Amino acid sequence: MTIDLTNIVLKQGSHSSREDGMCAMEAAAYVAGEEHSDRPKCVCPVIGAFMRNWNDNLPDDESRTRLLLPLIPKILNTAGSSDVEERRSWMAVDWMARTYAPMWLDAAGLSEHAAALRALAPIMDKESAKASQETLDAARAAAWDAASDAAWNAAWVAAWVAARAAACDAACDAACDATCDDARAAARAAAGVAACDAAEVAACDAARDAATHKLAPTVELLQASAAHLVERMAAL
């Protein structure tokens, strides 16, 4: 049975039934013919974490439907091995460090740090994450200093939030923790954090006034980049 996606409007959060509404992952379960759930069995848990956080942190139903609905057919049947899950998790961490944070650093005029992050070797595992930490921490510190000096100008606020997340408070630090018994679980959590923080920047007070602060182009580029990341993870 072919389901007409044009009739679906994505909503925030999870829902007790389809009649009450559907988030992106609940819509994925619906399209896949599974029982109502925001954790469909046919979708990779890493991609699911990313999509749930992105869905819930977008500012309105129009944005959710426009950005996430086209991705639903692409993420079906992506459930796979733990090795594939881990690789997808590191793809999200790498995106956060080398794409997401540099865009906001450029918007804040911290182009030197943006270039340094883009020049990092791909973050693919614990070792490459550790190797990137000093550069990421320097970008976070620079963004914090700029935000403080600028009395929390919107661009600097967004840059600091981005650099803070990319500096691995919840991502690389967890994945690099030598005491972590399950690096896959830590990296999988990072995928969710990446989506959440990216969407947080797009939905925060600074970026809600994006047109005034000329941040709208950065938000739009990041949304397109996040969609491309999901497509790349699904294709793995």
Does residue 100 lie in a domain region? yes
pLDDT tens for 17-66 read 998 999 999 999 999 999 999 999 999 988 998 898 888 878 889 989 99
pLDDT digit string, tens, across residues 175-228: 444 444 455 565 566 666 666 555 555 545 554 554 455 677 888 888 899 899
Cα–Cα distance, 137 to 34 (Å, whole number): 43
Q: What is the pTM of this model?
A: 0.83
37 is a domain residue? no
The reply to whether 73 falls in a domain is: no
> Mind listing the pLDDT tens digit for each residue in 48-58?
988 988 888 78
Write down the pLDDT at residue 9.
95
Total tally of structural domains belonging to the chain: 1
Is residue 30, in this structure, part of any structural domain at all? no
What pLDDT digit, counting tens, does each position of 220-230 carry?
Answer: 888 899 899 99
* Domain contains 56: no
The answer to the question of residue 222 being in a domain is: yes
- Residue 43 confidence (pLDDT): 96
Distance CA 11, CA 52 (A): 11
Question: Does any domain span residue 71?
Answer: no
What's residue 195's pLDDT?
A: 62
Q: Can you give the residue range of the structural domain that contains 163?
A: 81-235
Burial of residue 179 (CB within 10 Å: 0-12, 13-18, 19+) is exposed
Residue 42, in any domain of the structure: no
What single letter denotes the amino acid at residue 91? Answer: M
Q: What is the pLDDT of residue 231?
A: 96
Grade residue 152 by pLDDT with cuts at 50, 70 and 90: very low
